[in-house]
Chains A and B, each alone.
Chain A
C-alpha cells in the first residue's frame, strides 16, 4: 500500500534545518563544534592577551632561561648546588627535595597508619577509642596548621647549636635541624648507580627464573644455584671495592655550628612529622575500612582452627584486606606527593618554593615555570597510578 499524501506541503528550508537539529546525530555535531569553537576562541583570546602583555613587559616565551645562571642560594639540597648553577639545576634540586620529602612521608606514614588502623580495631575499647581520637583530631585540623605548629612551636623552640641536644656524640638536634653521621665515598654517584643496576638487574631475572622452576618442578636446577652463587660473589667483590673507599663523616661542633655528617633542616623535620602524622590518620581509616570489609565468618573460621589473633591478622585478614586497601592507599600516596608542596609555607626548599616562587620572581617566566611544575606533578601522579594499577591487577582475585 502506498500512503503518499498528495496534499502534503513541501517543507521549507528553515523547517528542514530545524528538523535536522532535532536529530541526535546532527545535534551532537553542532554542540561539539560550538564547544570546540568556544574553547579555541577563549584560548586564542587568552594567548593573544598574553603575547601583548609579554611584549609590554619586554619578555619572550621560551625555555632558554633554563641555561642561565640562577644566582640565588638554596638553603638545603640533596644534590650538589651552588648559586652559579643554572635554573635547570634549580628545577632538579626542587624535584629531588620534593621526592625525598614525599618518599619519607609515604614510607613512615604507611607504617604508622597501618599500626593505628589495626589498633583502631582492637577489642580493648580504651585502645580503639584512643586510636579513634588520634584519627579524628589529626584529620580534622588542616595540614598547613599542623606543619606550622610543628615548625614554630617544636623545632624553632629547640636550643641553638651550642647548647643543642647531642646523643653519643653522633647525632645532634638543635633549632637548625638534625645532624647524623653519613657515609662518604670517593666514587661518583653515577658509578654507584650503574653498579647497583648491574647487580639488581640479573638478580631480578634470577629470582624470577628460580620461582618459575620451583613452581613447575618443585626444585631448582643446579645451573640456577651456581648462577646465584656467582651473583653473591660479585656482590661481595663490589661491596669490598665500595667499602674500601668508604669513610664515615661524623658531625661535630665547630665554633657556633655543627659541621660534617648528614644534615636535615628543621623545616624538613616539621614538614615530615606533620605530614606523616596527617597521612597516617588517612591511611588508618583506609586500613580499618579494608579490614572491616572482611566478613565475620573469616574471623570465626580462623578462631575455629585455633589461630591466635596475630596469626589471624597475618594469615587470614591482611592478605584479603590488602585487595580492598590498595586502591585508596595508592590515592593516599598520590595525595602525600601533592601535599609535600605545602612545605613551601615554612621555607623548605621543595619544587614550589624554589621554582614557582623564587625563580618566577627572579626571571618573570611565569608561564614556562608553571607549566614545568605542573608537568612534573602530572608525570609523578601518572607514574604512581600506573604502578599501583599494575600491582592492584596483580593482587586481585583472578576470575577463571
Chain B
C-alpha cells in the first residue's frame, strides 16, 4: 500500500461566525416561519387573534351603547353591541351594594383610612414596621367597623367597641403626627414628652412617652367621636365590591395568624395538639368552600344558644377564616419543613425558648420561602369570595346578577359579568405580578 492510497483527512472549512445582526425581521423569520408547519401555525394564530379581537372590540367598543335609559332603547340603537348604559346606571350598586347613597362617603373614608394606615410601610426605612402592621390587624377593624356601621357612641356602639375605636383613631393620628414631625426634621411626639414622664418613671422611657401621648390622643378622639352622629347602616345593607373586599381582606389577614397556629400545632411534638390540628386542617381542606359556607350559615344558629344568632356576615367571616387558615397552614408547614435543623440548633444554643425561636428565627425565614405559595393562596381567596353570593350575600357577583332582574335592564347578563371579570382579572393579575416582583426583590436581597 502506498502513501497515495491512504485517505487524507481533509477538514471541512470552518463555518462562518454567526452574524451579529439580530434585526427584528430576521428573528421573526427564524422563530415564526422556520418551517412550513410553523408558518401555517403562525398564520392560523394570527387569523384567530384577528377574529377574536375584532368581534370583541366590535361588541365592546364600536357598536356599544353608552347612553340609554332602558335595555330596549339600547337594543333599538345597536342590537349587537354591548349595552354599557345599564352597567353605568348600576355602577354605584356594583361598588357599594345597597349602602345608602348619602352615606357612601363613609365607605370611601374608611377604606382610604385603612390604606393610609399602611402607607408608611411603603417607605423603606421606618422604625417599628411590625407595630404598624399589627396595629392595622388589631385596631383598624374597630375603626373601620365604626365607620361602616355608624351609630352613636354609647348607644348603638358597645363599650368595648367604643374604647377600641378611640384607641385606633388615637393611634392613627399619632402615626401621622409622628410622620409629619419626622419629615420636618423634628424629633417624634413621644420623644418630646419623654423628659416629662422620665421624672416620674425611669424604666422604659420612650414607651412611657408613647403610651401617654397615645392615651391623651385616644381620649380626645373618643370625646370628639362621641359628639358625632353617624346614621347606622346595618350589615345586611352592605354589598358590592365593598363587601367583597371586606371578606377578602378579612380572609387574607386572618389566614396568617390562624395558619401559623395550625401549622405549628401540626408540627408540634405533643400528640394531642398535633392530632387536633391535623384533623381540623385535613377536614377543612377535603371539603369544598361552599359546604363550609353552608355549614356556617345553617349550623351556627343551631349550635349557638338560642337568641344569640349572629348576622350572616359574621357567619361567613367565620367560615372563610377557618377555610383560609387551613389552606395557609399547609403553606406555612411547607416553609417550616424547608428550614434546616441547624437553624433550630443555633437558636437553642443562644438559649431561645420555643416561641422566640419560632418568632425570631424560623417563621420569618419560612414565610419568606413561601411567598409565592402564600400569594397564590391570597389570590384564590379573593376569587373565592364570589361564592358568598350563593348563600345570598350581596357581594359584587350577586349585584351583577341582579342587574338583569331590574325592570329597566331585564336580561342584561353579559355586560355586568364582563365588567366584573375584567375587574377581578386586574386585581388578581396585579397581585400575581406584585408577588413575582416581591420574590425577585427578596431573592436579590438575600444573595
- Listed in ascending order, the chain A residues whose CB lies under 8 Å from chain B are 28, 31-32, 35-36, 39, 46-47, 49-50, 52-54, 56, 123-127, 130, 136-137, 140-146, 148-149, 152-153, 156, 338-339, 341-342, 344-345, 352, 356-357, 360, 366-367, 370, 373-374, 377-378, 381-382
Determine how close the nearest CB of chain A comes to the CB of B394; give it in whole angstroms.
15
- Central interface residue in B289, B294, B379, by most chain A CB within 10 Å: B294
Q: Which residues of B contact A152 (CB under 8 A)?
A: 404, 413-414, 417
Question: Would you list the 5 A-B pairs with minimal beta carbon distance, nearest first?
Answer: A140-B428, A152-B413, A32-B272, A338-B288, A142-B383
What's the nearest-Cβ distance from chain A to residue B52, in Å? 10
Q: A124-B41, A124-B42, A356-B291 are in contact. Are A140 and B425 (CB under 8 A)?
A: yes
Cβ-defined contact, B425 with A341, below 8 A: no
- Asked if A345 contacts B390 (CB within 8 A), the reply is yes
Among the 9-residue stretches B137-145, B204-212, B295-303, the one with 4 or more Cβ atoms under 8 Å from chain A is: B295-303
Question: Cβ of B425 and Cβ of A344 under 8 Å apart?
Answer: no
Q: Which residues of A lie under 8 Å from residue B428 when comparing CB positions?
A: 140-141
Task: Name, among B48, B273, B303, the residue most crowded by chain A CB atoms within 10 Å (CB to CB).
Answer: B303
Interface size on B, as a range, is: 35 or more
Say if the beta carbon of B375 comes within 8 Å of chain A: no
Contact: A344 with B32, CB < 8 Å? no
Tell me if A374 and B291 are in contact (CB < 8 A).
yes
What residues of chain B lie closer than 8 Å to A127, measured between beta carbons?
41-42, 45
B386–A145 touching, CB < 8 Å: yes
Q: Across the interface, which residues of A come within 8 angstroms of B429, CB to CB?
A: 136, 140
Please indicate the chain A residues that have their CB under 8 angstroms from the CB of B384 in the complex. 142
For the complex, give the distance between the alpha carbons of A215 and B273 in Å. Answer: 50
Residues from chain B with Cβ under 8 Å of A46 in the complex:
303-304
Say which residue of A31, A338, A356 sits within 8 Å of B294 (CB atoms).
A356
Q: Would you give the 0/1 interface string for B349-393, flagging 1 where the beta carbon is closer than 8 Å to chain A?
A: 000000000000000000000000000000100011011011000
Q: 16 A-B pairs, CB-CB below 8 angstroms? A: A35-B272, A36-B276, A49-B304, A53-B303, A140-B383, A145-B420, A153-B413, A338-B288, A341-B288, A341-B290, A342-B290, A360-B294, A374-B283, A377-B287, A377-B291, A378-B287
Of A54, A144, A373, A382, which is within 8 A of B387 by CB?
A144
How far, in Å, is A53 (CB) from chain B's closest CB?
5
A28 with B288, Cβ < 8 A, contacts A124-B31, A126-B42, A142-B386 known: no
Cβ contact within 8 Å between A145 and B291: no
CB neighbours (8 Å) of B413 from chain A are 152-153, 156
How close is A21's CB to chain B, nearest CB, in angstroms? 13
Q: Could you tell me if B401 and A148 are in contact, using CB atoms closer than 8 angstroms? A: yes
Closest-CB distance, B302 to chain A (whole angstroms): 5
Contacts of A356 in B (CB 8 A): 291, 294
Chain B positions within 8 Å of A, measured between CB atoms, are 31-32, 38, 41-42, 45-46, 48-49, 269-273, 276, 283, 285-291, 294-295, 298-299, 301-306, 379, 383-384, 386-387, 389-390, 397, 401, 404, 413-414, 417, 420-421, 424-425, 428-429, 432
CA distance A245 to B290 in the complex (A): 44
> Are A126 and B32 in contact, CB atoms less than 8 angstroms apart?
yes
**Cα-based distance from A156 to B413 in the complex (angstroms):** 10
CB distance from A40 to the nearest CB of B (A): 11
Residues of B within 8 A of A378 (CB): 283, 286-287
CB neighbours (8 Å) of A123 from chain B are 31
Besides A124-B31, A156-B413, 18 more A-B contacts (Cβ < 8 Å) are A31-B270, A31-B273, A35-B276, A46-B303, A52-B305, A123-B31, A126-B46, A127-B42, A140-B425, A141-B425, A142-B424, A146-B421, A339-B288, A360-B298, A373-B287, A373-B291, A374-B291, A382-B286
Query: Which chain A residues lie closer than 8 Å to B305 at the CB level?
Result: 49, 52
Chain B residues whose CB sits within 8 angstroms of the CB of A32 once the complex forms: 270-273
Assuming the contacts A35-B276, A127-B41, A141-B421, asked whether A50 and B291 have C-beta atoms less than 8 A apart, the reply is: no
Contacting residues, chain A, for B432 (C-beta < 8 A): 140
A357 surroundings in chain B (CB, below 8 A):
294
Q: How far is the CA of A54 from the CA of B298 in the complex (A)?
A: 13
B302 and A143 contact, CB distance less than 8 A = no
Min CB distance, A275 to chain B, in Å?
12
Q: Which single residue of chain B is at the shortest CB-CB distance from A138?
A: B425
- Say whether B291 contacts A53, CB under 8 Å: no
A123 CA to B31 CA, complexed, in Å:
7
Known: A36-B272, A142-B386, A145-B397. A367 touches B299 (CB 8 A): yes
A367/B302 contact (C-beta < 8 A), A124-B31, A140-B428, A153-B417 known = yes
